[in-house]
């Protein structure tokens, strides 16, 4: 009796301490979540604060008179004249008409520096397509040079250095007031490939490259992964060989991705003689990388199908293959899809293996097939982040936002599929 | 469910076919690899070339000078690159490797110069360094400070310990890794020249060249020198944050970031384009690219690309590469090289 009472006494005494440890334990959990959320928030805030200006472009809109005399181009069909024509002269003349005080040759040259590098190419392309426009006046929108763009967007941001002279700044201010220089939504970002000039650079090439690469990855890793998982789970005999394969698949999932790049270089490029920098090779390498993830998650999905379903199917006389294809695989499909989508999202963000197979490259043309040179989104971000022009800082952050959007869509799709198709028993 | 089964087989087969049909395809895009220092110049030329001609825009990979030459010398055939950029001259060993792999006809093009600067944040004191001081600050082993004739592990941790005229702050320098051409050039131009100024080491050059190279080319690894990766932009960002740190990188990065950083003068010379091209500034190096002649005419546009690169409007005194930070070669040399490029003059191996 005394014994029991003393025991109850001990419990009561320790109760306070035990409650306290439990509260502390919960607090640790909340703290961990808080730290995770805070770092996520800081990351997003940093990217968005740096990147939102990347979605804005600075343009100069001018009424350009395409005067044949000024361009030394009387006859647009004459190729010699064409190659020696001065397509920049009419633009500078139009710009100078807006800033009449810039009259000397040196000042005109200074004005010309407001324009992006390819302003004259734009006029030439326009005249190539529509030769009848010669000697007419056209309203054309040109991208500004990086220097002007930085001044217009970031004049009071100490992180940027303004490289316009005071004279030039005055002119830009004047043009801004007149509405000649203006900012608008950066559609170039979504309609062009890479460029060395921030005003002409876009992520379209990288997005198409990523899609082509992911297509190859999906076409290979999904069927192979599921076939492997079904065989291992449903048909493989329990023996040492199966164990060995299982251990290896699990190990493969933890192999650093750069190793897969080395493998791709040795096998696909050096042995099979496939070209460098193409989405097919990139897709194959990433498929190898995602395979273990898909196999492991598919096996887990198959395992979670209750044995009663198999037994019932077998009970009504279904063959082993019918059991698997008619019942087990369809029921496990949500889990398999989720695993595959998460694997693909991982592959979408991968750069290291692509470095070795040449997909980290300056590629301007938007890829038009599985065998044309391409790069992918994360690589584009890396390339821009290491460029010296100031305009690429905001573009890199903008590209990160595009990539994150794709990631969020893919992960949301995975969650939606799971919610929608999941069956509970 | 046979439908699912069929779909699965079709996709697998399609994938397998795509994977195994190794196409020895003809390429219509010029493939360029090589130095990360030449990359900003080559990409500007390539983009213009793609925009202003009917040829596809060349594809440029930044692999570092050594990596580029290795890829370039692997053989002839469209799976190998056509041109490689380098921020140092091809080595004899690399030329031999090319020859051994059948890359026998190579044209060498020197495109201009680039200076290597040591810069720090504008908030910090502007430094005036001599090559000797740079060597003492960054070498692994230095002559014993007490004046005796032996080498000791680098004891200097503060700039002021090297010379009283330098500020009393800890030595902290960020520089490129050994794979980088910038590092090769820095070691050769700055470290070796500083190193030679010690009589005991200069003497070593005649007696034991290997040992001389080891002493002069070894950067210290005890902390004050940090390898910062190929990304020069990151170095610039770090410098802006930490005024006590110096960074080593190409002149073009200094030019792009004059708002945040300033360069130290070396031997009293400010790194300006004039000083670099006239060799007054001691840490300047030449930039090159190498063309595989066997690919000219096979991959369309190579000849046109290199003549665009070597035209006055591109690499001349008022060319557009100057805006990106290239320091042009003297005019008569440009003319000579442009002519050699036109005729695709081949390397003999003796010039190296």
Put simply, whether A45 touches B (Cβ < 8 Å) is no
Q: What is the mean pLDDT of chain A?
A: 90
User: Taking CB atoms and an 8 Å cutoff, what residues of chain A touch B33?
Assistant: 358
Task: Give me the pLDDT at residue B21, please.
Answer: 47
Do β-strands A181-185 and B31-34 pair in parallel, antiparallel, or remain unpaired? Answer: unpaired
Task: Give me the pLDDT at residue B6, please.
Answer: 60
Residues 62-101 of B with CB under 8 A from A: 62, 78-79, 81
Q: What is the pTM of this model?
A: 0.80
DSSP bridge pairs for B61: A361
* CA-based nearest distance A17→chain B, Å: 48
Q: Which residue in the set A219, A385, A386 is minimally distant from B14, CB to CB?
A: A219
Are B128 and B95 in contact, with CB atoms under 8 Å apart? Answer: no
- Per-residue pLDDT band at B3 (split at 50, 70, 90): low
Percent of chain B residues topping a pLDDT of 90: 39
pLDDT higher for B31 or B233? Answer: B31
- Per-residue pLDDT band at B23 (split at 50, 70, 90): very low
Take residue B68 and report the two structure tokens written for it.
């580029």
Q: Which residues of A45-179 form beta strands (DSSP E)?
A: 56-65, 137-143
Least confident of A14-23, A335-344, B319-328: B319-328
Put simply, whether B44 touches A (Cβ < 8 Å) is yes
- Per-residue pLDDT band at B10 (split at 50, 70, 90): low
CA distance A353 to A358: 9
Q: How many CB atoms neighbour CB B164 within 10 A?
A: 8
Residue B183's closest CA among B351, B32, B34, B35? B35
* CA-based nearest distance A373→chain B, Å: 7
Q: What is the pLDDT of residues B198-242, one digit of tens each?
A: 888 888 877 888 888 888 888 998 889 988 866 666 777 788 888
- Site from B30, B51, B326 to mutate, A interface, most A CB atoms within 10 angstroms: B51
Q: Which residue in the set A269, A386, A389 is minimally distant from B231, CB to CB?
A: A386
User: Tokens 């006389």, residue?
Assistant: A317
Residues 71-100 of A with CB under 8 A from B: none
- Left if phi > 0, otherwise alpha if psi is -120 to 50, otherwise beta: which for B333? alpha
Are A143 and A57 in contact, with CB atoms under 8 Å apart? Answer: yes
User: Taking CB atoms and an 8 Å cutoff, what residues of chain B touch A387?
Assistant: 40, 233
Q: Do A226 and B19 touch (CB under 8 A)?
A: no
pLDDT for B17 beyond 50? yes
Q: Which domains does chain B have, with CATH numbers?
A: 25-113+286-343 (3.40.190.10), 115-284 (3.40.190.10)
Q: Which residue in the set A269, A326, A330 is minimally distant from B79, CB to CB?
A: A269
Q: Do B46 and A373 touch (CB under 8 A)?
A: no
CA distance A384 to A360: 11
Residues 130-159 of A with CB under 8 A from B: none
CA distance B121 to B240: 5
Do β-strands B173-175 and B225-227 pair in parallel, antiparallel, or remain unpaired? Answer: parallel
pLDDT for A300 beyond 90? yes
Task: Give me the pLDDT at residue A306, please.
Answer: 92
- Site from B3, B22, B237, B299 to mutate, A interface, most A CB atoms within 10 angstroms: B22
Task: Give me the pLDDT at residue A83, please.
Answer: 74
Q: Which residues of A72-99 are buried (b: 16+ CB within 10 A; e: fewer)?
A: ebeebeeeeebeebebbbbbbbbbbebb
Rounded to 5°, angle at Cα A68 from A66 and A74: 145
- Site from A83, A205, A223, A228 to mutate, B interface, most B CB atoms within 10 angstroms: A223
Q: Do A388 and B233 touch (CB under 8 A)?
A: yes
Least confident of A256-260, B52-56, B147-151, B289-293: B147-151
User: Tokens 């690159």, residue?
Assistant: B81
Q: Which domains does chain A have, with CATH numbers?
A: 56-185 (no CATH), 204-421 (1.10.3720.10)
Q: Is the dihedral of CA A413, A419, A425, B6 positive or negative?
A: negative
Quick one: average pLDDT of B290-295?
95
Q: Which residue in the set A280, A360, A364 is minimally distant from B57, CB to CB?
A: A364
Q: What is the mean pLDDT of chain B?
A: 86
pLDDT for B4 beyond 70? no
pLDDT for B36 beyond 80? yes
Rounded to 5°, angle at Cα A329 from A327 and A333: 120
Least confident of A224-228, A272-276, A361-365: A272-276
Quick one: average pLDDT of A136-140?
91
Least confident of A245-249, A355-359, B177-181: B177-181
- Per-residue pLDDT band at A215 (split at 50, 70, 90): very high
User: Taking CB atoms and an 8 Å cutoff, what residues of chain A touch B256?
Assistant: 388-390
Are A190 and A204 in contact, with CB atoms under 8 Å apart? Answer: yes
Q: Which residues of A312-351 are buried (b: 16+ CB within 10 A; e: fewer)?
A: ebeeeebeeeebbbbbbbebbbbbbbbbbbbbbbbbbebb
Quick one: average pLDDT of A174-200?
92
- CA distance to A236, A245, A246, A254, B221, per residue, from A251 (Å): 19, 10, 9, 5, 35
Q: Do A390 and B50 touch (CB under 8 A)?
A: no
Quick one: average pLDDT of A183-202?
92
Q: What is the pLDDT of residues B70-93, one digit of tens each?
A: 999 999 988 899 999 998 889 999
- ipTM score: 0.82
- Site from A106, A196, A385 to mutate, B interface, most B CB atoms within 10 angstroms: A196
Task: Give me the pLDDT at residue B230, please.
Answer: 61
Q: Which residue in the set A124, A224, A362 is minimally distant from B60, CB to CB?
A: A362
Residues 262-291 of A with CB under 8 A from B: 269, 272-277, 280, 284
Quick one: average pLDDT of B17-31?
64
Are B154 and B140 in contact, with CB atoms under 8 Å apart? Answer: yes
Instruction: Considering only CA atoms, give the Rg of chain B.
Output: 24
pLDDT for A348 beyond 90? yes
Quick one: average pLDDT of A223-240?
93
């Amino acid at each position: 009796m005394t014994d029991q009472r003393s025991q109850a006494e001990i419990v009561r005494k320790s109760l306070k301490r035990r409650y306290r440890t439990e509260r502390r334990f919960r607090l640790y959990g909340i703290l961990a979540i808080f730290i995770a959320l805070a770092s996520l928030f800081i990351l997003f805030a940093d990217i968005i604060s740096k990147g939102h200006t990347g979605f804005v472009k600075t343009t100069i809109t001018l009424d350009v008179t395409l005067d044949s005399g000024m361009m030394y181009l009387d006859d647009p069909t004459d190729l010699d004249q064409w190659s020696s024509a001065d397509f920049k002269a009419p633009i500078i003349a139009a710009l100078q008409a807006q800033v009449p005080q810039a009259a000397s040759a040196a000042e005109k040259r200074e004005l010309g520096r407001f324009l992006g590098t390819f302003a004259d190419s734009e006029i030439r392309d326009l005249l190539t397509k529509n030769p009848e426009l010669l000697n007419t006046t056209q309203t054309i929108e040109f991208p500004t040079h990086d220097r002007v763009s930085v001044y217009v967007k970031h004049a009071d941001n100490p992180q940027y250095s303004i490289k316009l002279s005071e004279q030039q700044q005055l002119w830009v201010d004047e043009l801004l007031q007149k509405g000649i220089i203006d900012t608008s939504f950066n559609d170039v970002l979504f309609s062009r490939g890479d460029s060395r000039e921030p005003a002409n650079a876009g992520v379209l090439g990288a997005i198409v490259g990523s899609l082509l690469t992911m297509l190859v990855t999906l076409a290979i890793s999904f069927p192979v992964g599921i076939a492997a998982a079904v065989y291992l789970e449903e048909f493989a005999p329990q023996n040492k060989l199966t164990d060995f394969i299982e251990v290896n698949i699990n190990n493969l999932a933890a192999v650093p991705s750069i190793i897969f790049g080395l493998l791709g270089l040795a096998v696909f490029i050096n042995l099979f003689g496939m070209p460098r920098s193409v989405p097919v090779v990139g897709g194959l390498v990433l498929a190898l990388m995602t395979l273990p993830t898909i196999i492991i998650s598919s096996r887990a999905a198959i395992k979670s199908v209750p044995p009663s379903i198999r037994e019932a199917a077998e009970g009504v006389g279904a063959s082993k293959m019918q059991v698997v294809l008619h019942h087990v695989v369809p029921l496990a499909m949500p889990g398999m899809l989720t695993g595959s989508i998460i694997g693909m999202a991982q592959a979408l963000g991968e750069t290291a293996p692509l470095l070795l197979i040449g997909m980290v490259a300056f590629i301007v043309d938007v890829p038009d097939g599985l065998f044309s040179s391409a790069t992918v989104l994360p690589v584009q971000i890396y390339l821009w982040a290491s460029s010296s022009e100031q305009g690429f800082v905001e573009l890199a952050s903008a590209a990160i936002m595009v990539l994150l959007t794709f990631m969020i869509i893919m992960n949301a799709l995975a969650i939606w599929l799971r919610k929608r198709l999941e069956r509970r028993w | 469910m046979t439908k699912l089964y069929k779909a699965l087989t079709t996709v697998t087969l399609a994938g397998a076919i795509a994977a195994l049909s190794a196409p020895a395809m003809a390429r219509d895009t010029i493939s360029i690899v090589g130095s990360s220092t030449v990359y900003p110049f080559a990409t500007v030329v390539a983009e213009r070339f793609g925009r202003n001609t009917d040829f596809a825009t060349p594809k440029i990979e930044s692999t570092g000078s050594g990596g580029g030459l290795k890829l370039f010398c692997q053989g002839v055939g469209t799976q190998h690159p056509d041109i490689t950029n380098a921020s140092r001259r091809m080595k004899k060993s690399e030329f031999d490797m090319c020859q051994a792999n059948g890359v026998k006809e190579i044209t060498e093009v020197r495109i201009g110069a680039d200076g290597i600067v040591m810069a720090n944040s504008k908030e910090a004191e502007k430094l005036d360094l001599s090559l000797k001081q740079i060597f003492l600050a960054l070498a692994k082993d230095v002559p014993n400070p007490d004046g005796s004739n032996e080498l000791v592990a680098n004891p200097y941790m503060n700039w002021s310990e090297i010379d009283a005229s330098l500020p009393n702050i800890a030595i902290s320098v960020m520089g490129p890794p050994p794979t980088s051409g910038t590092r090769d050039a820095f070691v050769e131009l700055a470290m070796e020249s500083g190193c030679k100024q010690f009589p005991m080491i200069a003497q070593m050059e005649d007696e034991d060249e290997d040992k001389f190279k080891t002493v002069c080319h070894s950067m210290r690894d005890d902390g004050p020198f940090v390898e910062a990766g190929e990304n020069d932009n990151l170095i610039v960002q770090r410098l802006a944050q930490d005024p006590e740190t110096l960074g080593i990188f190409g002149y073009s990065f200094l030019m792009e970031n004059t708002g945040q950083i300033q360069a130290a003068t070396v031997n009293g010379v400010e790194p300006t384009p004039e000083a670099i091209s006239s060799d007054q500034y001691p840490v300047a190096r030449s930039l090159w690219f190498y063309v595989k002649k066997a690919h000219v005419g096979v991959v369309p546009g190579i000849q046109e690309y290199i003549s665009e690169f070597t035209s006055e409007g591109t690499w001349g005194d008022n060319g557009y590469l100057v805006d990106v930070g290239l320091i042009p070669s003297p005019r008569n040399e440009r003319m000579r090289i442009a002519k050699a490029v036109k005729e695709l003059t081949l390397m003999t191996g003796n010039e190296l």
